[in-house]
Structure 1
Amino acid sequence: MAENGVRQWLVTDADAGQRLDNFLLRVMKGVPRSHIYKILRSGEVRVNKGRARPHYHIAVGDVLRLPPVRVAEPSDPAILPAHLRGQLESAVLFEDSHVLVLNKPSGLAVHGGSGLSWGIIEALRQLRPEARELELVHRLDRDTSGCLVLSKKRSALRALHEAMRQGQMEKQYLALTLGDWKDKTRSVRLALRKNTLQSGERMVRVDPVEGKPAHTRFTLLEHFPGAALLQADLDTGRTHQIRVHLQAIEHPVAGDEKYGDAAFNQRMRSLGLRRLFLHAVSIRFTHPRDQQPMHIQAPLPAELEGLLQQLRQESKS
């Protein structure tokens, strides 16, 4: 192991636009993700002499204080397993010199760490070694599948992040939920607060006092006995937003082990569901290079489509 001293890092155009946690993971190679978040929480990392949150996007001219850390000696990177390589290559929905959109598989985290050998970003960096600036534009929960956007150039990352801040990136999800849905459409505005347990697990709850504003619009697509297929449109992008909003209005998502209903989950398992029924079905944004409108769709995975077919059969009988 080697130890580095305190460093002052002036953010240039080459680094600007990245989330602070992602930047630290890249410049502090070998430091565990858990330690990165520890030094952020403790204030050992400073941005312009002040504390900053992991999701802060660093800007040109920012001065970062990077504390001394012990890092692992360089070693040969692990080789991406062949099955994962093939799975990700076949999941690419769109790719050019600036943007890559993936149909993210359920069960694969966007980042490695916490016992996970591979995340989406680490795997794709090995698959695309020429894309030296490959970064996640946004995130999806580990168990959620569907459209995930990555940038291949720093300029594209900045443009897409600005589009998200301006509400110009539209995301639609499909969710199978418990209960009889009464309205064709329903708008849910409930502030959410994120908590991290001692175990490191993230939990989110409705908190009208200290929570951040969150808005989800739901549209009924299909009725089933005791269940409903909904389309969810996000006006904000809080952690676990759809899942917690649906839990709060007593229509939790099928297969949700964290916020769901145990009896409903058991019933869905008996029909073959082995995952969370939440899928990012489409995304719209303006291409950062030529300003062309992009509308990319991710087909519903076979296991989710199969469950819907079984529920349709139940409805007829």
Structure 2
Amino acid sequence: MSDESSRQVQILYVAEAEDGIRLDRWFRRRWPHLSNIQVQKMARGGQIRVDGARIKPEGRLTAGAAVRVPPIPEPVVRAPGEHAPLSAADIAFAKSLVLYEDDMVIALNKPAGLAVQGGTKTTKHVDRLLSAWGEGMERPRLVHRLDRDTSGVLLLGKGPEAAKRLAGAFARRQAKKTYWAIVLGLPKPTQGWIDQPLKKSGINDFEMMRAAEAKENGAEPAETAYALISHAGQRAAWMALRPYTGRTHQLRAHMRIIGHPILGDPKYGDEKSQALSGLLKLQLHARRIELDHPSGGKLIVEAPISPELKAGFEHFGFDEQEADVDPFANLRRPR
């Protein structure tokens, strides 16, 4: 967060992947320098409100909720460069990522390796780059997230009303997201539905999502549709993946759980996938998003494949033209 934004009251929206998170943890993720006592004081004093209502520090947040964030106390020690104004090069870089922009929406093509939000050791991230469009009401709002090493479409809302409507669409699972991935082996059946709750284990850089029982404490429902686009014999498959829920690392964890980890994934890969990956980076790309535009009609945005995924296509002989417009046209959610 910039100095300017941290001194102002802000309205931020709970990301889809943060559904169910405690308020105090939500704050600590964004401002790691805050103590639990500081968060408790702000919440109990009514400075923090969710959808206009008071909330306890241990209260749970729902995806799409609007959080009133009071001015945040400065950290005692600042990460180098985190609070510096954007340079001309930073602004040019941010604008170069734009896939689509109108008066309510911006769609970025996030490159692999760029975090969406900052932390104690992350000073270059999408959230900081949003200052390229201005501050205060002019500053776009994040409405969902992508993993640092996942490339592709990232939507932003221009102004609080647009952000609220977009975040609401994600929270109500009305956004159709299509990811492309190259995975180990050939899944059988070649299309289907993964309904496997996930639970976080570990902390910080060692945090992972693992399979869990539905009634297990901390388990979160997680559902993913998958469909084969093409395959390189039995070695590797190019898959379309559609998350119905938005859990952290959901696609990566689900593909590992069914025995077909995404190639180039150091966290969720296994010995076979790591051997086949070689020098390939994470083969996961947010290809397309389709949802209602905040002002009416449909918004459909596609991101050209990243250099990382292009390297995988070239290695296994895949061609973009093989993909159907909707790989999930014949797949129905089981219920």
CA distance in 2, matches of 1:248, 1:172: 20
TM-score w.r.t. the length of structure 2 is 0.74
In structure 2, distance between residues paired with 1:169 and 1:278? 18
**Residues 82, 124 of structure 2: 8 Å contact kept:** no
For 1:218, the equivalent position in structure 2 comes to: 226
Match of 2:165 in 1: 159
Mapped contact 2:201–2:207 kept (Cα < 8 A): yes
Shift of 1:52: 2.7
Structure 1 pair 68–160 and aligned structure 2 pair: CA distance change class (3 A): closer
1:247 Cα deviation from its structure 2 partner? 0.7
2:181 match? 175
Alignment check: 8 A CA contact 1:40 1:52 kept: no
Q: Tell me which residue corresponds to 1:52.
A: 59
- Given the two structures, how large is their TM-score scaled by the length of structure 1? 0.78
Aligned to 1:6: none
8 Å contact from structure 1 (residues 21, 55) kept in 2: no
Amino acid at match of 2:315: Q
Is the 8 Å Cα contact of residues 140 and 156 (structure 2) preserved in structure 1?
yes
Three-state SS of the structure 1 residue aligned to 2:316 is helix
Distance change >3 Å, CA 287–CA 260, structure 1 → 2:
same
Please, which of 288, 311, 315 is the counterpart of residue 316 of structure 2? 311
For residues 167-220 of structure 1, what are the alpha-carbon distances to aligned partners after superposition, in whole Å with 9 as ceiling and x for unaligned? Answer: 2111100011011222231210000112351x4643211111331111100000
Q: Amino acid of the residue matched to residue 178 of structure 2? A: Q
Paired residues of 2:186 and 2:237 also in contact (CA < 8 A): yes
CA deviation string 1:101-141 (max 9, x = no partner): 0010000000122311111011122x111553421110000
Task: State the SS of the aligned residue for 1:15.
Answer: strand
Displacement of 1:152 in angstroms is 1.2
Residue 11 of structure 2: aligned partner: 15
Name 1:237's counterpart in structure 2: 246
Per the alignment, residue 188 of structure 1 pairs with 194
RMSD: 3.5
Picking from 252, 255, 276, the partner of 1:246 is 255
After superposition, the Cα gap between the structure-2 partners of 1:214 and 1:41, relative to the gap in structure 1 and judged at 3 Å, is farther
1:39 match = 36
- Shift in Å at residue 237 of structure 1? 0.8
Aligned position for 2:209: 204
% same residue: 33
Matches of residues 20-31 of structure 1 in structure 2 within 5 Å?
A: none
2:133 is aligned to: 128
Answer yes or no: is the 8 Å Cα contact 2:175–2:290 preserved in 1: yes
> In structure 1, the residue corresponding to 2:178 is in which secondary structure?
strand
Structure 1 portions without partners, runs of 5+: 1-8, 26-30
> How many pairs align?
287
Counterparts of 1:150 and 1:194, CA distance in 2: 27
Cα deviation, residue 163, structure 1? 1.3
Once the two structures are superposed, the pairs formed by residues 36-115 of structure 1 within 5 Å of their partners are 36=34, 39=36, 43=40, 46=43, 48-50=54-56, 51-53=58-60, 58-59=65-66, 71=75, 77-80=83-86, 84-115=90-121
* Aligned partners of 1:17 and 1:154 also within 8 Å: no
CA contact (8 A) 1:40 1:53 kept: no
Matched to 1:35, the amino acid is: H
